[in-house]
Amino acid sequence: MDKFLIEGGKCLQGEVRISGAKNAALPIIAAALLVKGPLTISNLPALHDVNTMLALIGRMGVSVERKADMQVCIDSSSIDSYSAPYELVKTMRASILVLGPLLAHFGEAEVSLPGGCAIGSRPVDLHIRGLEAMGAKIVVEEGYIRATSDGRLKGATIFFDTVTVTGTENILMAATLAQGQTIIENAAKEPEVTDLAQCLISMGADISGAGTDTIIVNGVAELHSAEHSVVPDRIETGTFLVAAAMSGGKVTTTATRPDIQEAVLQKLIEAGATIESGDDWISLDMQGKRPKAVNITTAPYPAFPTDMQAQFAAMNCVAEGTSHIKETIFENRFMHMQEMIRMGAKILIDGNTASIEGCTQLRGAPVMATDLRASASLVMLALVVQGETLIDRIYHIDRGYENIEEKFQGLGGKITRISPSKAT
């Protein structure tokens, strides 16, 4: 199992190119199941989760042709199976996204109940109830969701009790081929949902309201081939900017989108950073200063993203002052803080709120990654504290960050991947 060995105390400087967003790429790959013909996707990040999703649809008989860097052509006309097996789904919750497209296009689907990061309950009942409202017959048995449709799905008004990104995406994709109009209320407004909608529109879907809490879809008989470029990863962008702030450095992120980073950028300005931006770049300069502690409350977009909570927790560990972080999305997303405490962080956890007292005496230690964003936060903290840190179970980080060690090395960070083969 690979590990990271990191020597801390480095000031990050330079420029880093941002990859395509994992959380947009995965549903867009699933959307290829809606059309018998090629969907060409560019700006696709080279990530373990992306490879898993491509392997999953490839197992169904779908043609997957990797073209130039960051581009793939998917053609579902050769599909011969409508099953997503446990051995692939267990590693990635986003596999549930093939359920809606398979059901809408082919009238049947068998999808294993999903796995992924252990950061709390993310039930699939919202997906199931939405598809049942559209006429699907669904049973959950032996660890699988088995769904069938007698002819085309039917348009319906679907209200989500709680905001769900993957639930919104699943129903959105299914609705494109349903008969009649589907109205999705209390829909997720994340940029990745909007990116999926734009991809579907390029395929011939009739969608309005993406990016608001009400999405209206008028079903069409079929979709057609298209090309789509995945939106830049706002979480990767934020991760590198926060890492720069923690180190007192100056970093420019390129190939990104400032307009979908407002909540994160505002908190960085509050921490004392000077932020400049253009159409596709963001520059952060701390001018050698230590960041100020900032309070965080996570909430659905456009509020502060839960996927940036761990990174700001890392920054607050070395910041001036005391901060409070409240996690409202997932009930088990403070596991990284126990590892930060091993490095000397002063953190008190009370339910879904953590109080962090900034400290300059942190030192490297052996720690263990517990989920994707926790992995990133431990890397960030290890880069700025004194001494060496050995981070175990970094397979989590490979699920969501493309070449993270190479990118940090390019900014002056001293980070080395240690694999069992190299160790022997």
Catalytic residues: 117
- Write a three-state SS string for the chain: CCEEEEECCCCCEEEEECCECHHHHHHHHHHHHHCCCEEEEECCCCCHHHHHHHHHHHHCCCEEEECCCCEEEEEHHHCCCCEECHHHHCCCHHHHHHHHHHHHHHCEEEEECCCCCCCCCCCCHHHHHHHHHCCCEEEEECCEEEEECCCCCECCEEECCCCCHHHHHHHHHHHHCCECEEEEECCCCCHHHHHHHHHHHHCCCEEECECECEEEEECCCCCCCEEEECCECHHHHHHHHHHHHHHCCEEEEECCCHHHCHHHHHHHHHCCCEEEECCCEEEEECCCCCCECCCEECCCCCCCCHHHHHHHHHHHHCCECEEEEECCCCCCCCHHHHHHHHCCCEEEEECCEEEEECCCCCECCEEECCCHHHHHHHHHHHHHCECEEEEECCHHHHCCCCCHHHHHHHCCCEEEEECHHHHC
In angstroms, rounded to a whole number, what is the distance separating the alpha carbons of residues 304 and 299?
Answer: 6
In angstroms, rounded to a whole number, what is the distance separating the alpha carbons of residues 197 and 28?
Answer: 9
Dihedral sign of CA atoms 235, 99, 124, 84 in order: negative
